[in-house]
Structures are given as C-alpha cells and as structure tokens.
C-alpha cells in the first residue's frame, strides 16, 4: 500500500495525535469501566505528569490502580503486600525501576505518583525524578533513567 511510511518507531510514537476537543491538563478516569487503549489514553510521553487515585482500602487490599504501556515498556501503580508500588520500564530493558512505600493502613487515601521531567536521554526517553505519594506525603522518590534502580520508602 502506498505511500510507505519510513518514520522510526520513536517518530511514530511521538506524533501529536488529532484531538476533537481543546487541549486540557486534567483527565478523570472512573472505576468499573472498560480498559482505555494506549492509542487513545492520555499521552504522558515526553512530559511531566501526576497520577492520583482516591481509594478506600480494606485490610489486605491489592490490585492495579494505573497501568499504561505495552510489550515495549510502560509503567504501573499498584498495591501489593500492603505497600504502594510504582514500576517503570523503558523498552523492556532490565532492570525495571521500582518505588515502594511503607505499609498502608485501611481507610481513605490519596495514592499517587508524580514524574518531573528534566530532559531526554540518548534514545529520546524522558529523564527526571519520580515521587511516590500517600496522602500528599512523598514516601519514596528518586531518578528515572534507563539505567534503572530501586527506591524504597523513606524511614
């Protein structure tokens, strides 16, 4: 089929997508809905972002609050073993970068992650700082870089 598209994968992923509504800086997703395909989800590539989930935790609660990506990499915010976790992976290249909170208590919480972009790496990947939040308090933070590292809760 013509015309052929000879753009690189990075070029194709970073194309501004057509929008049927004005640009905005806030998006709200609700529970118990269908999955949102990456191609139509909020595009967080190449920019700073903050994701907050308002939750009511029961004893032993576990699960994914947010996941975005594909087999080529991505990131997820989830609760496991009574801790909040954020995992980031660039192009499936190990190691994954993991940020983990201390123990969570049952009840209402605002759980989230913030990424503050400082620049781009040699492959166009975003470089910057990730902060993990529990109730507006930073509980873990560290650099996001392709080289990877793990960051655990502050003591």
Measured CA to CA in angstroms, residue 97 lies from 77, 92, 102, 141, 152 at distances of: 12, 11, 17, 11, 11
Q: Residue holding tokens 């994968």?
A: 9
How would residue 149 be classed by pLDDT, with cut points 50, 70 and 90?
very low
Q: b/e per residue, 63-73, with b = 16+ CB within 10 A?
A: eebbebeeeee
pLDDT at 32: 82
- Going 34 to 107 to 86 to 81, the CA torsion angle's sign is negative
Query: Quick one: how far is CA 105 from the chain centroid?
Result: 23
pTM of structure: 0.76
Please, which pLDDT band fits residue 147 given cuts at 50, 70 and 90?
Answer: very low
Confidence of residue 90 (pLDDT cuts 50, 70, 90): confident
Interacting residues of 153 by C-beta distance below 8 A, sequence separation 6+: 83, 100, 101, 102, 139, 140
How far apart CA 86 and CA 104 sit, in angstroms, is 14
HSE of 152 in the Cβ direction (CA atoms, 13 Å)?
4
């Amino acid at each position: 089929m013509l015309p052929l598209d000879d753009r690189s994968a990075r070029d194709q992923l970073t194309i501004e997508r057509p929008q049927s509504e004005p640009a905005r800086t806030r998006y709200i997703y609700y529970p118990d809905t269908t999955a949102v395909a990456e191609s139509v989800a909020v595009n967080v590539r190449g920019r700073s972002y903050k994701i907050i989930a308002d939750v009511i935790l029961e004893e032993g609660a576990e699960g994914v609050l947010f996941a975005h990506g594909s087999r080529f990499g991505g990131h997820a915010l989830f609760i496991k073993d009574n801790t909040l976790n954020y995992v980031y992976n660039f192009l499936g290249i190990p190691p994954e970068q993991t940020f983990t909170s201390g123990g969570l208590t049952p009840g209402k919480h605002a759980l989230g992650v913030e990424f503050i972009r400082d620049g781009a790496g040699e492959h166009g990947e975003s470089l910057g700082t990730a902060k993990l939040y529990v109730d507006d308090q930073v509980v873990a933070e560290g650099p996001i870089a392709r080289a990877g590292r793990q960051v655990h809760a502050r003591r």
